[in-house]
Structure 1
């Protein structure tokens, strides 16, 4: 965490936020909840949220406001600018405009991002691909961007590399998977943009040629019922295993032979980083961040989004050539290093804050503690 001797941190969160992390944050952080700030667009509640955020920022006289997410980022930055906040930072965790939305909506989102960029002192992106995409759309100048990867605690994933074969055999048995079956796994929320439907259609083709295979889906969400029906329609009941939300993801990745990700868009896919850390070969759609983890033909394969033919081909190739798959997985370990850990993220963020403070605020304004607003979502 940021040093409490120098920073007074307030966390502003929307009413739909997950507050399970509060005990980990500690007493140094004051949490302020805005119930009207929600994910979906709601003109009335959004206006109320904007006014509340503006009043909070104005009354508390923050030196720095740091926003996250698309909607919270826009409302938070505009409110901070109106309140006269000296430093405004925004972290991009994913692209807000993409090819899977209507052209009109995409254009509108780009215009809103450009507007917010006018009052943004610095963009932090979780991956270089994301930075390149925003700069190419003239959303702020390149000098306003820095990449700081999301902190991921990889300790358990490093350790999962060394789990013995006997342990893997027992875990596969618990899931009802024969020891001889190949396991393909995916980790993501169950919602349309995660593209599970493409994996299911690829699986339908694969099992007709290679029946000794299981597909393990980790994650939960409102799309589960639809996907379960699709599994029945494709006669995949014996090959698909829904595990829901799990806390033992490192162990589960360890028993997989291949990890796949079929999301249509991301920022930096954490599941790919985790899979590479455990040493698993990867087949992923070509989305933002994928090429920062996967090198084509070295530790996995990158296929165009929605391309079921190529997805099927690459998964089937690895499933039927496990020695090659294992070699590729070992190569993936080399691509994941300490730049992904939480300590590095906090250190780099602190350095960015210090540079902005020294550049934009005079020493006379920095007497005492600096109050930093670290979240608006």
Structure 2
């Protein structure tokens, strides 16, 4: 079976993590993915190639629309894919769906990984393209009910046209490690008893780093030894660093950049802070819960992502930074869930990649 994955960017995020988690699992069974990218590089390219995948580059559709179409059509004509899996944060670009349909691909999948579209232009294009998608796809996937209803509509979801495909992870990989906690804290120069609040996510509007800074400022007022660990990269990183400097907390924040070993950093944290403005179903929250971490999250995150009610607190974004800070301190006292229990809960909720990988292959073949 020949499968083409579309939509991955050059900055590893949740959508990229989804594809790679399934690719790693299926590669063990001899299944390979091809990837197409309109950026100069693609996230995880070295690993993709090591796993036997292939990467094809096409012109950026925003810079060379007709060049993009020509190159994409040529790829589809040459490779004769059985499945074209288009991973989408919105319907702003449905050209791959149309081209795959025109090429006679047996299964054309539109997969919703988000629950909102940031930016005026993207919102406009999303609104124009949504009604047209139905002409090109024969499978609708979503990472959560919220993401499915948002992209495909309530009626399509209620008619059973949307298949939920879990943002599954390798639960053992993200389990808590005392050794990793000690080593990462030593590497970062953090004392063993200092409160470490952590976040994993791209520096973009959706992740709401400005709120993280306001909350951390309140935490600092009560516990000056506390540290904030921000994992990720993105276009707003320098802006956030400047705001942290003005707030007088820059020297208390650790900016790690993109990490390939996030699980080690999770073990070094005490509380996971996640005040996102919107999400589909965030991988990083699942990874934090697999680590047993207490989490303080926004009420905009789907309840499907909350697996441990006793150590996940959901708060309205309308609440004050002081209330968020109080929740952080409270959750820190609650402590971690045991490693084995955390893994059991993820598996029972359908987020174990070993089981979900088999389900995805059945969906590809049906």
For the criterion TM > 0.5, the same-fold answer is yes
The partner residue of 1:313 within 320, 323, 328 is 323
Does the 8 Å contact 1:118/1:140 carry over to 2? no
The DSSP-based 3-state class of the residue aligned with 2:300 is coil
Q: Which runs of 5+ in 1 are unaligned?
A: 356-377
In the alignment, does 2:46 pair up with 1:20? Answer: yes
Paired with 1:205 and 1:12, the residues of 2 have a C-alpha distance of 44
The partner residue of 1:336 within 321, 325, 346 is 346
**Residue in 2 that maps onto 1:79:** 99
**Residue in 2 that maps onto 1:163:** 178
The DSSP-based 3-state class of the residue aligned with 2:323 is helix
The DSSP-based 3-state class of the residue aligned with 2:37 is strand
Does the 8 Å contact 2:73/2:99 carry over to 1? yes
**Residue in 2 that maps onto 1:360:** none
Does the 8 Å contact 1:280/1:329 carry over to 2? no
The DSSP-based 3-state class of the residue aligned with 2:46 is coil
Does the 8 Å contact 1:64/1:89 carry over to 2? yes
The DSSP-based 3-state class of the residue aligned with 1:266 is coil
**Residue in 2 that maps onto 1:347:** 358
Q: Which runs of 5+ in 2 are unaligned?
A: 1-22
Paired with 1:47 and 1:244, the residues of 2 have a C-alpha distance of 35
Paired with 2:281 and 2:331, the residues of 1 have a C-alpha distance of 28
Does the 8 Å contact 2:109/2:141 carry over to 1? yes
- Listed one character per residue, the Cα deviations across residues 23-57 of structure 1 (whole Å, up to 9, x for unaligned) are 3331xx444321x135xx34xx1232123323432
- Shift, 1:101, TM fit: 4.0
Change (3 A) 1:227 1:3: closer
**Residue in 2 that maps onto 1:371:** none
**Residue in 2 that maps onto 1:292:** 304
Does the 8 Å contact 1:114/1:139 carry over to 2? no
Does the 8 Å contact 1:295/1:301 carry over to 2? no
Paired with 1:46 and 1:231, the residues of 2 have a C-alpha distance of 39
**Residue in 1 that maps onto 2:246:** 233
Does the 8 Å contact 1:281/1:332 carry over to 2? no
- Shift, 1:273, TM fit: 0.7
Does the 8 Å contact 1:298/1:331 carry over to 2? no
Change (3 A) 1:61 1:183: closer
**Residue in 2 that maps onto 1:178:** 191
Larger RCO, structure (CA 8 Å, separation 6 or more): 1
In the alignment, does 2:77 pair up with 1:66? Answer: no
The DSSP-based 3-state class of the residue aligned with 1:21 is helix
The DSSP-based 3-state class of the residue aligned with 2:181 is helix
- Shift, 1:135, TM fit: 4.2
Does the 8 Å contact 2:76/2:100 carry over to 1? yes
Does the 8 Å contact 2:91/2:125 carry over to 1? no
- Shift, 1:325, TM fit: 3.9
Does the 8 Å contact 2:306/2:312 carry over to 1? yes
Paired with 2:29 and 2:200, the residues of 1 have a C-alpha distance of 39
- Listed one character per residue, the Cα deviations across residues 132-154 of structure 1 (whole Å, up to 9, x for unaligned) are 33343556774321111134233
**Residue in 2 that maps onto 1:37:** 60
In the alignment, does 2:110 pair up with 1:90? Answer: yes
Aligned residues: 338
Paired with 1:201 and 1:175, the residues of 2 have a C-alpha distance of 23
Paired with 1:261 and 1:199, the residues of 2 have a C-alpha distance of 8
Q: Pairwise mapping of residues 64-143 of structure 1 onto structure 2 (< 5 A)? A: 64-69=83-88, 70=90, 74-95=94-115, 97-98=116-117, 100-102=118-120, 106=123, 108-136=125-153, 142-143=159-160
- Listed one character per residue, the Cα deviations across residues 131-188 of structure 1 (whole Å, up to 9, x for unaligned) are 2333435567743211111342332212xx2426xx6355424322233321111111
Paired with 1:71 and 1:12, the residues of 2 have a C-alpha distance of 18
Does the 8 Å contact 1:64/1:85 carry over to 2? yes
Paired with 1:308 and 1:196, the residues of 2 have a C-alpha distance of 16
Q: Pairwise mapping of residues 197-276 of structure 1 onto structure 2 (< 5 A)? A: 197-276=210-289
Does the 8 Å contact 2:229/2:254 carry over to 1? yes
The partner residue of 1:54 within 66, 70, 73 is 73
Paired with 1:57 and 1:170, the residues of 2 have a C-alpha distance of 47
Change (3 A) 1:293 1:331: farther
**Residue in 2 that maps onto 1:278:** 291
